[in-house]
Each structure stands twice: as structure tokens, then as C-alpha cells.
Amino acid sequence: MKIVLLGSGNVATHLAKALKGKGEEIVQVYSQHLDNATILAQSIATEAIGDLNEIKQNADLYIISVKDDAIESIAKSLKNVTGLVVHTSGTTDINILSSQVTKAGVFYPLQTFSKEKEVSFENIPLCIEANDDSQLTILSNLAAKISREVYKLNGEKRKVLHLAAVFACNFPNHLYALANKILSQNNLDFEIIRPLIAETADKVMSNLPENVQTGPAVRADESTLNKHLSMLTDMPELQNIYQTLSDSIKLTLK
């Protein structure tokens, strides 16, 4: 397939490398910042463009992988293409595309991407949607080339998944950061807590989290909870989070 990639951020970068790795032909990379497009385009040996008017009109697939609020204006510039146009957003409706183009779809990788770290696409769930069955088949075949986990989900389910992902990924990572804040204020290195983080995640690979909860709140150990809250007197923001999450854990006991 001839693919035009619109975007050069974390998702676009990882997706481009995965597609290229499976032999797909990425014919252009667009970014409103040509410099960014150039960095990504060079890494996959293709053309970079910084002007939407230069987009090739004869590609098979256009992947819009930009901030949610920029998707619509890019879709408008693709009104005349005959290929399939997809976005990679968890929260954005497919209608934002199908109101502009004939063949519309969604290609949402459920993963956290950072430029700092390579990821293997094989294990990344890809959630796909299209506005007709033949386009869904095309997306499904493409997705299956780079991932073993392909889910056909409508927009409502995809939005639920994106919300759940904030609880399962963004919030835990922030709690790791707060743990590091507590440690570093006491000259303890983050290294000491890494095995605990790894095991906590590993435990729910074969269990449901509600069945393996540990800690003072689930034991209703008020003595430890109160000690911890008093240790956080000088950090009221963390004290509030400690109280809120401990109360929520205790609710599961009822």
C-alpha cells in the first residue's frame, strides 16, 4: 500500500517505523513544522512536506496522526483523495472524517508512546473502525501485519477504552512520579522501588487487579493509614491523593 502519513509526533513515528518494517510504502510525511517532518521522513527514507497542498492525491491510505483538535482541518484538505483516510485518536469520532471524505476509518493503537523508548508493535492492541465493510477489511489486514491483537470497535467502545487507559497508564505513571518525589526528598533513589513497580504490573498479567490488591487500605489498617497521612503533612496535595485513593480502596471492602 502507498501510505501518506500526516503527523510526526510519538504515535506517527512509532507507527511509521512499524509499517515500514513490514514492507509498506510510506510515500510522504507531512507536518506543519517541516523540520519535524524531515526528521521522521529521513529515518524512513521518504519525502517530507510542510504544505498540505503538496500531498499526493493517489495514495491508498492517509493516516492522520496529529493532536485531536487538528484532525478536522487536515481532513478538509483531503476532500479530493480517493484513498482511505483514517485518524489514530482514541476520543475522536469517525464522523469528523466521513463528513469530509468518502472512505473513512480509525486506526487507534492502545499504547503509551515516548520518543525515548522503542516499542514492539506486535503486542499493541490496534482498534479499528471504518465507514464500510470493505474498508474495514483493508484496515484489518493492515493491522494484522503489524500486531497480533486487532479489535474491531465502534466509536463508543473506543472512547471507553481511551478513558480506561488513562486510569491504567497515565495515572499510574503519575503515581510513580509522586513516589519518586517522596523518595528523592529523602535522598532515596528511584532504583530501589523499580522491582516493586515491575511486579505490581506483572501480577495483573495473569490476575484481575481487584483480586490481588495489597497495602494498608485493603487491610483497613487505620494505624498505618494515619501514620502515612501524618508523614504527608507538608505535602497537602499528596496527602489529598493518599486519602482519596485509600477511601476508594476501602469502598471495595463493603
* Sequence-separated (6 or more) residues with CB below 8 Å from residue 142: 1, 19, 24, 61, 107
Q: Which stretch binds its own copies (CB under 8 A): 35-43, 50-58, 66-74, 95-103?
A: 66-74
The reply to whether 50 sits near its own copies by the rule CB under 8 A is no
Q: How far apart are CA 26 and CA 125, in angstroms?
A: 22
State the nearest-atom distance from the C-beta of 96 to its own copies, in Å: 13
Contact 121, 144 (CB under 8 A): no
Q: Which of 167, 233, 234, 254 binds its own copies (CB under 8 A)?
A: 167
The reply to whether 199 sits near its own copies by the rule CB under 8 A is yes
Task: Supply 5's cell numbers.
Answer: 502519513
State the nearest-atom distance from the C-beta of 220 to its own copies, in Å: 11
Helices (H), 80-210: 95-98, 133-146, 155-165, 171-185, 194-203
Contact letters for its own copies, residues 128-147 (x by CB under 8 A): --------------------
Give the binding-site size for its own copies (rule: CB under 8 A).
93
**Nearest residue (CB) to its own copies, 137 versus 226:** 226
> Left, alpha or beta for 94 (phi > 0: left; psi -120 to 50: alpha)?
alpha
Q: Which of 32, 47, 52, 216 binds its own copies (CB under 8 A)?
A: 216
